[in-house]
Structure formats: C-alpha cells, structure tokens
Amino acid sequence: MILRELAGRLGLRVIGNDEVAIEGVAPIERAHSNRLTFLANPKYRGQLATTTAAAVVAHADAAAAAPCSVLVSRNPYADFARAAALFEIKPAREPGIHPTAVVDASASVDKSAHVGPMVVIGARSAIGPGSVVGPGCVIGEDCVVGAGCELVARVTLVTRVRLGHRVLIHPGAVLGADGFGLAFDQGAWLKVPQLGGVEVGDDCEIGANTTIDRGALGDTVLEEDVRLDNQIQIAHNVHIGAHTAMAGCSAVAGSARIGRWCLIGGGAGILGHLEVCDKVTITAMSLVTHSIKSPGEYSSGTPLMDNRQWRKSAVRFKQLDELARRGK
C-alpha cells in the first residue's frame, strides 16, 4: 500500500515522502525499509533516530527527529492499530453448516453464518447473520449469538447465554457455567440452582480460557465494549460496565459491580458484593476488599524485595498492632 493511500484511509497527514510502499508493520527497533512502525511512548524516542522503517506513526513534535516519513497522529498507538488491521489476513469463512456439525431441529442458523466442523448447537439457540462458530464449539440450549460474532474454536456457551453483535471469543472460553452457589446445612453443602444467564453487550472481546458464570437468579452482565484478557474468572451476577478492560488472571467474586472505563491489572482480585465506580484503575496483583467510590488509581500488596528483607518486614507487619497500641 502506498503511504499516501494509507494516510487517506486513516485520515492522517504525511510529512516526508508519501510515495513509499508499505508492505506490513513492525516494532520500531526491527522495522525494515518497507514497514510501518509507531512511536507512542517518549521513553523509546531514542530508537526513532536509528529506525530503518519506511514510515512511522508519531506525534507532530517527533517528526523532526524521524529519518523517514511520518504519519502525524494525536494518538499514534490507536492509529497504528488501525493501520495494522489493514494488513491482517483473515481466513475466508464460507457461509453454511459443516456436515459434521450437529444442530438441534429447534435451533436457527442464519444463512450467512459459518458453522465449522464438530460444532454442537442446542435446542432453541440462534446464530445471527455473518457470525462464525469455529471448530469444536458447543452452544447449549437457549443461547443467542448476535450478528457478526466470532467464536474462534472450542468455545462453550453452556445455557442462557446472549451475545450482542460483533463479539469475539477466543479458544477455550466458557460462558454460562454454574456459578459457585452453595448453602451449608447440617454439616454438608447444598447446591443452589443457577437459574439466570449471561448477557454480553456489543463489541466485547473475551480471552482464551476465560470463564463467565451464569447468574443465580438474575444475569451476569458485560456491557458493550468490555475487553477481557485470557484466564479471567467472572463469578455469578457480576456486572461489568462498558469499556472496562481486565488483564489476565484477574478475578471478580459474585455480585460485584464494576463501573465503566475501568482498568483492572493482571492477577488483581475483587471481592464479592462490592462496587467499583467509573474510571478506576486497579494495579496488578491488588486485592480490592472494599467498595471504591472515587475515580483514581488503587494498589495493594507489598513490592518485591530480597527474601531476607521480606522475612524481617513480615515479622514487623505482625507487630504493627502492638506498636500502635503503645503509641496511644
């Protein structure tokens, strides 16, 4: 793609030669003479002077230091993502149902949808226009897959799962399994039936091996444009607000509510029945033990240190209460 054409498709201005050919994208330190790269973080600015890329997506103030053409952007990372999408090669998925798929007679599959090999679709479920159900997926009873969704492979929708439009689910994810509902009676656990479902809004993405349990009575809800990384656990009746993103191995306990535009770091945990307001950032490996009512960045835990020093500090942690009483 000629840089001038690429700039036009992205709505960006070119500084330098706009006739260079762009054949792909690459990181700034490894980009060659036919590749597009980007500079978003100022700490990597030193690499700009030595890049051999054909062009770079960058802020206007970085253009003078670039040895190549520049696509001027107010958000270089976002515009680079849009550019990279133009070079992504996706496999063609022909409409139709693979002969090895098993589709219940009461289910409906739109004629423009693709249902791959070894797929199972249960009673009263529906697959919307243009959706892709990849190999080995299992869609249980009373599920709805909206238009333009993609279930990559081995995705399981257990029961009463409703996906909006353009939802992307990566391999191994399980939506709609039983929530962890138990009542203790006479020395033994009694299972509480999970009678709700899972509702996923438009444009959500759910990572590989992530699990989202169905609600006990109501639904577990993801609003639109929620992004979940791999290996995340979302318990029953959790509600996650629009545009929130969660990194890998984080977990949310039952009936917690997370607001909109939140960022949850990797390995973070949120206890049940708590509320996190809009625009909150939880840093990695933090444990949220109380509701958060003000936007901002929150952390918990102790930083990594030498083991001998950590052991001494751990002893002092146990003495804090005694020291506090002495100070009164």
Q: What is the DSSP string of 63-77?
A: GGG-SSEEEE-SSHH
105 — pLDDT class (breaks 50, 70, 90): very high
Taking the model in full, what pTM does it have?
0.91
What backbone torsions phi and psi does residue 310 show, to the nearest 5 degrees? Answer: -65, -40
- Give the range among 2-16, 80-94, 228-242, 244-258 with minimum mean pLDDT: 80-94
Are the C-beta atoms of residues 228 and 200 closer than 8 Å to each other? Answer: no
Q: What is the mean pLDDT of residues 66-86?
A: 95
What does the block give as tokens for 176?
């709609």
112 — pLDDT class (breaks 50, 70, 90): very high
What does the block give as tokens for 76?
């270089």
Top-level CATH class of 3-86? alpha beta
Q: What is the mean pLDDT of residues 36-60?
A: 91
What does the block give as tokens for 198?
């899972």
236 is catalytic: yes
| Gyration radius of the chain's alpha carbons | 25
Tell me 160's DSSP state. S
Task: Tell me the three state secondary structure of residue 149.
Answer: coil
Pairwise CA distance, residues 283 & 325, whole Å: 32
Residue 328 has pLDDT above 80, yes or no: no
Q: Output the pLDDT for position 62.
A: 87
Residues β-bridged to residue 56: 37, 70
Pairwise CA distance, residues 265 & 246, whole Å: 6
Delimit the domains of the chain by residue range.
Answer: 3-86, 155-298
Choose, from 236, 243, 273, 290, the residue flagged as catalytic: 236
Domain 155-298 has CATH 3.40.718.10: no
Residue 74 has pLDDT above 90, yes or no: yes
301 — pLDDT class (breaks 50, 70, 90): confident
